[in-house]
Amino acid sequence: MLESDQSEVTQRVALVIQYLGTHFHGWQWQPHHRSVQQEIETAISKVVGYDVTLHGAGRTDSGVHAAAQVAHFDIASPIPPYKWAAILNSYLPEDILIRASAGVGKDWHARFSASYRRYRYTIYTDKCPNLFVKAVSWHYYNDPLDEELIQAALKPLIGRHHLSAFRRSNSKRQHSWVDVQAAECCREGPFIHIEIQADGFLYGMVRFIVGMLVQVGSKERSIFEFTNLWKNERREEVKHSAPARGLCLLRVGYPDFPFPEEVWFDNQPKLVFS
């Protein structure tokens, strides 16, 4: 442990973080459960000898993964910002990795400076289960899924909409307006990848959307019915939430970001085998 020296000039350090969400109860601190924020804050405190608060770009739910979560903390320490990644990785468990660290200005904030978040949901459609993809995809094999229908259903979501139909009832957010910047679906062999990018996300939003999109892809529900459902805010009809394990926070975007693209842009390998 390094001796902390509060006389040091406080610096703000940004982190790009990966984690497998399987054994975490989400990003945020939980009183009686393991969280990503808790593990990293504990690691930082072991280095400097005092408690430090970590501010994340957003919260991920229990079981959700992250390819490039972003967070920052303020620290009075002689350690150069770029060295924090390697130092913290020596303290962190196997299911968390700091890809890089860098110094940022005092007015830069992991949450409030972000211009978008992008999530990817992976669905595995082969009839035969596969252990090696189980932890990071939803094995959906009941009906064939038409990815072109899913893509067509996603298109009307682009733009600013009131998406209360895709919001969990215990959400504490004051409104349901979301600026959806991109929404895409593609197939790679037995895998369907759905990506949604927005300025922010409602609690449970992506998993609700995917849960309803599989009904479109299986032709159980029409594109018109799906679109009409969320445009008319018929929350009572949204009864299917996709499992957490298929969801990954792919990246967070900023107008001013100190990391090169290879560190944060697209670091969840796509499952593509046929």
Closest CA to 157 of 166, 168, 145, 148: 166
Which of 113, 140, 166 is the endpoint of a domain? 113
- Domain membership of residue 3 (yes or no) is no
Q: Considering its fold, how many domains does the chain have in total?
A: 2
Which of 113, 140, 174 is the endpoint of a domain? 113
154 shares a domain with 72:
no
pLDDT in tens, 167-177: 987 676 778 99
The confidence score (pLDDT) of residue 173 equals 73
108 shares a domain with 121:
no
Query: Domain containing 231: what range?
Result: 116-255
58 shares a domain with 129:
no
> Quick one: tokens of 183?
């929404």
pLDDT confidence band for 273 (50 / 70 / 90) = confident
- Domain membership of residue 265 (yes or no) is no
120 shares a domain with 109:
no
Q: How far apart are CA 81 and CA 87, in angstroms?
A: 10
- Domain membership of residue 271 (yes or no) is no
- Domain membership of residue 135 (yes or no) is yes
> If you average pLDDT over residues 113-140, what whole number do you get?
97
pLDDT confidence band for 7 (50 / 70 / 90) = low
- Domain membership of residue 107 (yes or no) is yes
Average pLDDT, the chain: 94
128 shares a domain with 81:
no
CATH number reported for the structural domain that contains residue 65 in this entry? 3.30.70.580
The confidence score (pLDDT) of residue 68 equals 98
pLDDT confidence band for 3 (50 / 70 / 90) = very low
242 shares a domain with 123:
yes
The confidence score (pLDDT) of residue 274 equals 65
238 shares a domain with 206:
yes
> If you average pLDDT over residues 240-263, what whole number do you get?
96
Report the range of poorest mean pLDDT among 141-145, 167-171, 251-255, 263-267: 167-171
Which of 76, 94, 113 is the endpoint of a domain? 113
pLDDT of 103 strictly over 90: yes
- Domain membership of residue 1 (yes or no) is no
55 shares a domain with 133:
no
Predicted TM-score (pTM) of the model is 0.94
Active site residue 61: yes
pLDDT of 231 strictly over 80: yes
Catalytic residue among 61, 107, 126, 256: 61
CATH number reported for the structural domain that contains residue 120 in this entry? 3.30.70.660
pLDDT confidence band for 84 (50 / 70 / 90) = very high
- Domain membership of residue 270 (yes or no) is no
Are 125 and 190 in contact, with CB atoms under 8 Å apart?
yes
230 shares a domain with 126:
yes
pLDDT of 224 strictly over 90: yes
Q: How far apart are CA 59 and CA 231, in angstroms?
A: 26
pLDDT of 1 strictly over 90: no
211 shares a domain with 120:
yes
186 versus 273: the higher-pLDDT residue is: 186
> Quick one: tokens of 49?
């000898």
Q: How far apart are CA 24 and CA 28, in angstroms?
A: 10
- Domain membership of residue 79 (yes or no) is yes
pLDDT of 4 strictly over 50: no
61 shares a domain with 157:
no
> If you average pLDDT over residues 83-106, what whole number do you get?
98
Q: Radius of gyration (Cα) for the chain, nearest Å?
A: 20
